[in-house]
Amino acid sequence: LDLALHGGLPCASICEVVGPAGAGKTQFCLKACVLAMRNGGGSIFIDTESRFSAERLCEIARTSFPEQFSDPEAQQALAGRCTVYSVTSTEQLLEVLKSLDEVIIERGVKMIVVDSIACLARREFSRQGLGARQNLLAKQAQQMKFLAETFTIPIVVSNQVTTRYAAKTTNNEDEEGSPSNRGIVTDDAESFLTAALGNTWSHCVNTRLVLEAGPGG
């Protein structure tokens, strides 16, 4: 992964981790926190799905770097450098992002994680409210970009997937299916998974990593 990214997760940018449930997105985020804090400094973990586990964080650290974190006191110190925010609404998430400046400075934060960006947005907004949802997501992304660029740190955001359909087109439509003449979705249309939250959000992301389960899970 470091080789593919030409040196690791890029600083001053937003890195999105996308995958279906059980693909390992939260584990990836926890491992990223461990790597960011390994040589000192802190991290911020914004938890929207109540999946953060300090025990799992320490287990990852102990397994990955046994020479450094085999001692319980070293594990406790590591966990203590991870500041966790549990948020339950999109507005609360935006307010937390706006309040992080001093925390980043005081705790020497090297990375911010949001796990996940899609959970609250998809739960709070119906299809009729997509415009309001995209507007709020844009504000969240703007604040994350400000933090990433101001403090030269990476921000890792996990995202869910959604199902799209590659519809068959009629004789009057091209195979690309432009927005004005896209074919009608039929029962035999091919479906595929793609990152949730739409194109507006995708343009806010600098790097997208897609996690998939291989043979045997």
How many other CB atoms sit within 10 Å of the CB of residue 119? 23
Measure CA 172 to chain center.
40
Beta bridge partner(s), residue 86: 47
Cβ(28)–Cβ(73) below 8 Å: no
pTM of the predicted model as reported, rounded to 2 decimal places = 0.85
pLDDT tens for residues 167-177?
A: 554 444 333 33
Q: In angstroms, rounded to a whole number, what is the distance separating the alpha carbons of residues 132 and 177?
A: 27
pLDDT in the model for residue 184: 39
What size, in residues, is the chain? Answer: 217
Per-residue pLDDT at 190 exceeds 80: no
Higher pLDDT, 114 or 22: 114
Q: Which residue has the tokens 């586990």?
A: 53
First to last CA, the chain: 20
Q: State pLDDT tens for residues 99-149.
A: 999 999 999 999 999 999 999 998 888 777 888 989 999 999 999 999 999
Query: Which residues on adjacent β-strands are paired with residue 13?
Result: 154
Q: Which residues contact 163 (CB under 8 A, 6 or more apart)?
A: 191, 192, 193, 194
